[in-house]
Amino acid sequence: MGAEHGFVVITAVLVGLGHRSVGYASYVDAHPDELRIVAVAEPDPVRRERYAKRFGVEEGCCFDSAETLAAAGKLADVAINGTMDEIHIETTIPLLNAGYDVLLEKPIAPSQDELRMLEEVVETTGQKVVICHVLRYAPFYVAIKERVARGDIGDILHIHSTENVSYHHMAVAFIRGKWNRRDVNPMLLAKCCHDLDLLCWMKSGIRPRKVASFGGRHFFTTENAPVDASKVCIDCELERGCEYSALRHHVDNEWWPFYALAGESAYESGGVVGVEEKIGHVSTSEYGRCVWHCDNDVVDRQSVIVEFEDGCVATHDMVTNSAKGVRRIQITGTKGEIYGDMIEGTFVVSKPGATKGTEALVEEINVNLKDDHHGGGDLRLVADFLSVVRGEGGSISTTSLSDSINSHLIAYAADVAMREERVVTID
């Protein structure tokens, strides 16, 4: 760590120069007195050069992998690991052994065995690992957690949360894209470990005990393809009238470019991509396939029921194909309840009101959301991680790794419970 202008400056290495890690690293733009990027590790040379220039990293501090970076010795205080899900553990362990504290993108690991491996290395090295459960840091959920923590609604009896995944997000990420196969990650882990983490965070310190789950892939199948639908959008006579058209999504509306244009030379180098280039790239990549003719096998809906050790029950519904993305939560306690909508940024606290001569006492709260991803959570997460590294203890959103893994244990158990049609006990 260095000190400039009275602030402790944390130095960082970036591992995996994708959308998430670069987003976290952008914290330096407004806070150069708190964070400085001094090295990068990325196998793609174009992306490596682009972001080395973006963050002012010298050529000698650019590496092609986490392993070669770790072998160079400790070059900074911390590492921000935004590699793909399936290599999180194999890239994080060398960083921990090299002495880095790590900010690790979610989900932590695709299996419980790998999760335990990480826990063991953390215990052995004594290094800190903070998981990017960014919704904990969104002002909306922080405000709700503070109400719960101070006892406004008493002891929690039940929690219900819902995530509605928009049709275009489902199409780009979980049907055409990187997370469309269960052998990479079950859908509940890939998409909803945030939401499962919120359930556990509201019950922090009390472990989940039993899990049941129902769901499946029922809509995005070959059997449901419209008559005359082609296997790729560019050749389909239905394309202009199709709400799932890849050309509508990624060319006309310019949605999800960091997925759909990945690998396109001008985009990767930070240049402008013309319409014809977009059409050509999308049409020849996996992102140009018909949503009913892909190799996806993850569920397109799933519900999970969790019983905690104190008897509290929590439920979460993951629903896809929604017109817009929505997250809602309802928490019922012994003294009242909280209901809110993260996208709207509002929640209501209701309490019984018989002694006041009314059915219920209602307080409406409008949270001031910032224009930041995940309801304002992304950059607040980075700020909190730096606080932890500086020894300041972090905020109400920060818990130990052992507490942060509960959402993953639920996701693993839910996948088994759904497939085997039984209740799973978490060890």
Write out the DSSP string of 201-213.
HHTTTS-EEEEEE
What 3-state DSSP class applies to 400?
coil
Peptide bond into 352 cis (omega under 30): no
Q: How far apart are the C-alpha atoms of 396 and 136, rounded to whole Å? A: 9
Domain-wise residue ranges, the chain? 2-132, 135-220+299-377+394-425, 233-288
pLDDT of res. 399:
84
Q: Give me the CATH topology for the region 2-132.
A: Rossmann fold (3.40.50)
Q: Which helix (DSSP H) or strand (DSSP E) does residue 56 occupy? A: none
Calculate the CA dihedral of residues 229, 230, 235, 238 and round it to 10 degrees. 10
How many CB atoms within 10 Å of residue 94? 19
CA atoms within 13 A on the CB side of 410: 31
pLDDT of residue 4: 44
User: 310 is written with which tokens?
Assistant: 């104190």
User: Residue 119's closest CA among 422, 426, 404?
Assistant: 404
- The first and second tokens of residue 354, run together, are 């018989």
Indicate the length of the chain as a whole number: 427
Cβ atoms within 10 Å of 49's Cβ, excluding its own: 18
User: Which amino acid makes up residue 363?
Assistant: E
DSSP H/E element including 149: helix 139-149
Which fold is adopted by the domain 135-220+299-377+394-425?
A: Dihydrodipicolinate Reductase; domain 2 (3.30.360)
Cross-sheet strand order for the sheet of 156-166: 360-366, 346-352, 337-341, 326-333, 156-166, 313-322, 301-308, 208-216, 424-425
Q: Are 149 and 266 in contact (CB under 8 A)?
A: no
pLDDT of residue 5: 42
Cα–Cα distance, 195 to 414 (Å, whole number): 14
- Nearest-CA neighbor of 412 among 185, 191, 179? 185
- Say what the pLDDT of residue 375 is: 63
- Please choose, from the candidates 160, 106, 94, the residue with its C-alpha nearest in 3D space to the C-alpha of residue 133: 106
Tell me, what's the pLDDT at 394? 85
Residue 287: which of 418, 136, 169 has the closest Cα? Answer: 169
Segments in the chain below pLDDT 70: 1-7, 369-375
User: Tokens 């590294």 sit at which residue?
Assistant: 389
Q: Please tell me the chain's helix, strand, coil percentages from 3-state DSSP, rounded to the nearest 5.
A: 40, 25, 35
Q: Which amino acid is at 360?
A: A
- Burial readout 200-235 (b: 16 or more C-beta within 10 A, e: otherwise): bbbbeeeebbbbbbebebeebeeeebeeebeebbee
Contact 282, 275 (CB under 8 A): no
How far apart are the C-alpha atoms of 262 and 260, rounded to whole Å? 6
Per-residue model confidence (pLDDT) at position 370: 55
Q: What's the pLDDT at 369? A: 65
For residue 48 the two structure tokens come to 């490596």
Per-residue confidence (pLDDT) for residue 56, from 0 to 100:
97
Residue 202 half-sphere exposure toward CB, CA atoms < 13 A: 33
CA dihedral 420, 319, 314, 403 (to 10 degrees): 80
Contact 170, 244 (CB under 8 A): no
Query: Which pair of tokens denotes residue 178?
Result: 């990187």
Rounded to two decimals, the pTM is 0.92
